């Protein structure tokens, strides 16, 4: 794991955006894995800025989102499709027919819908760079604690903690789904690169368990210890429970020299 500790959430977003822009410049048909939630919003703002100011081109990008709520129409304001449209897709020149979120409707067996999403990712050549956030309970995507470390896209029931954490986004009268279709942990580990962003003190415990804890379904993000190219980008608050911060800061400085000399390795 490469652990990068930065001053504040804006720097975390800036760093993540540089990875994406680098990928776009290196690959003719990049495949991005995207996340929703509060953390990547500032990353998407940076990408929109890059598009508007530097004409960063998204026209050849294919994207796959981590998850979508169960039984929620794409045009519902709470759907993750709507979140992505409002925060990114409608503001850049991506071809929206190449943007994918898992389907999770009542028409078809959810297990078939999950497998179809896996096929779509495989047929696109796999994900080059997967963006992740982390839940306060260590989830990635909606792989809640106890998720199989070799899980694939499937329907998951959300934990009380996740429902409570996300209730801030729903009006009191609004229906909050308690299930979601999510990429599995094995699906995430298949991505060539993963970049996890975490900001704020409320993530510090989960971040420490992910990096220093045992590899365990108790903290699904700990599965990233198995990934060959996992980049963890943290602000100071999210890093605050890590014991060996000085080492990460020093190692990252050395790493930056390599990036300056040779560019990002993607
Ligand atoms: C979002 C997702 C979740 C979030 C996590 C953190 O697509 O899969 O794993 O990344 O719940 O959410 P925020 O960023 O709102 O704290």
Distance 93 CA to ligand 1 centre (A): 25
Residues lining ligand 1, judged by CB closer than 6 Å?
Answer: 35-39, 66-67, 133-135, 139-142
Residue 139 CA: which ligand 1 atom is closest? 9
Residue 34 CA: which ligand 1 atom is closest? 7
Residue 264 has pLDDT above 80, yes or no: no
Question: For domain 2-262, which CATH number applies: 3.40.640.10, 1.10.3720.10, 2.60.120.380, 3.40.50.1360?
Answer: 3.40.50.1360
Residue 65 CA: which ligand 1 atom is closest? 7
Active site annotation includes 67 = yes
For 44-100, the DSSP string reads: HHHHHHHHHHH----TT-EEEESEEETT--TTSTTSHHHHHHHHTGGGS---GGGEE
Active site annotation includes 98 = no
The answer to which of 79-83, 128-132, 164-168, 181-185 has the lowest mean pLDDT is 164-168
**Cα-based distances in Å from 66 to 121, 205, 259:** 11, 23, 28
The answer to which of 34-38, 149-153, 248-252 has the lowest mean pLDDT is 248-252
Residue range 141-166, pLDDT digits in tens: 999 999 999 999 999 999 999 999 99
Distance 254 CA to ligand 1 centre (A): 30
Could you tell which of 134, 180, 205 is best to mutate to test the pocket of ligand 1, judged by most ligand atoms within 8 Å of the CB?
134
- Closest residue to atom 8 of ligand 1, CA basis: 141
Domain positions in the chain are 2-262
Active site annotation includes 252 = no
CA of residue 228 relative to chain centroid, distance: 17
């Amino acid at each position: 794991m490469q652990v990068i500790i930065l001053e504040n959430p804006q720097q975390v977003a800036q760093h993540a955006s540089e990875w994406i822009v680098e990928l776009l410049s290196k690959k003719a048909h990049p495949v991005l894995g995207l996340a929703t939630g509060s953390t990547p919003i500032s990353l998407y703002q940076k990408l929109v800025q890059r598009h508007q100011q530097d004409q960063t081109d998204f026209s050849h990008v294919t994207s796959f989102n981590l998850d979508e709520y169960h039984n929620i129409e794409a045009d519902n304001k709470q759907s993750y499709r709507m979140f992505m449209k409002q925060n990114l897709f409608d503001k850049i020149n991506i071809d929206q027919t190449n943007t994918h979120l898992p389907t999770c409707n009542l028409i078809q067996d959810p297990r078939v819908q999950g497998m179809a999403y896996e096929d779509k990712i495989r047929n696109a050549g796999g994900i080059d760079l997967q963006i992740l956030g982390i839940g306060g309970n260590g989830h990635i995507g909606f792989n809640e604690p106890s998720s199989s470390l070799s899980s694939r896209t499937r329907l998951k029931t959300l934990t009380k903690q996740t429902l409570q954490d996300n209730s801030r986004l729903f009006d009191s009268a609004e229906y909050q789904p308690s299930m979601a279709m999510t990429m599995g942990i094995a699906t995430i580990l298949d991505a060539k690169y993963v970049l996890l962003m975490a900001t704020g003190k409320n993530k510090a415990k989960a971040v420490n368990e992910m990096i220093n804890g045992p590899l365990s379904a108790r903290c699904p993000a700990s599965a990233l210890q198995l990934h060959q190219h996992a980049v963890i980008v943290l602000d100071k608050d999210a890093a605050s429970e890590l014991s060996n911060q000085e080492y990460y800061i020093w190692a990252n400085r050395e790493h930056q020299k390599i990036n300056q000399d040779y560019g990002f390795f993607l």
